[in-house]
Amino acid sequence: MQLMKRLGFQQFYAHGGDWGWLVTTNMAQLEPKTVKGLHVNFAPPSKPGLLMTLSIMLGRRFPKLFGFTETDVERLYPCMEKLVLESIKESGYMHIQATKPDTAGRGLNDSPVGLAAYILEKFSTWTDHDFRNLEDGGLTRLGIGAKGRHFSNVKKDFDWRRQVDKLNQYPHFKTNIEDNFDLFELLTRH
């Protein structure tokens, strides 16, 4: 908020992706007259309630009852495959960073190519899960401009000396997940 005010914006729109969904949501809730609008592209529910559980269990059979469109049903079902198995397939980085941050950090610290591969793999598979089945991982489909931008971002913004310290923040995930973690507490701790 202070940054936007220093830049001369008394009101603005905010966008939050990944962990930014929580930051921007809090900004909009704390300063509703300042944040005119909010867009998030990652907003997990804090506590799945009865209605959400029922919609997941019964939504395929009774989509209109839960307000699902045909597209919603295609994207959501089968739940086990699309929610659970896909999460397991794409959460390896979190497990590595939660359990072996020093190993990952030393490798990324020492290898610009390794770091680029680590980052670009996420852009590839998170863009389209089917890219996993392609020989190049779908990177050529992201476009040369996109690849160049990601490489220049890595080179420009990367502090090679601090990678182990950064990755060592992830053990909190492992600890807190085991203790029924509080996401807000985790994000505000650092």
Question: pTM for this one?
Answer: 0.48
What DSSP element (H or E) covers 154? Answer: helix 144-157
Do residues 27 and 1 touch, judged by C-beta distance below 8 A? yes
pLDDT truncated to tens, each residue of the chain (190 aa)? Answer: 888 888 999 999 999 887 788 899 999 999 999 999 999 987 776 677 888 888 888 888 899 998 999 998 888 888 777 777 877 888 888 888 888 888 888 888 888 888 888 888 887 877 787 888 888 887 777 664 454 555 555 545 555 455 555 555 544 444 444 444 444 454 455 4
Q: Residue 91 is encoded by which pair of tokens? A: 């959460």
> Domain boundaries in the chain?
10-40, 50-89, 92-189
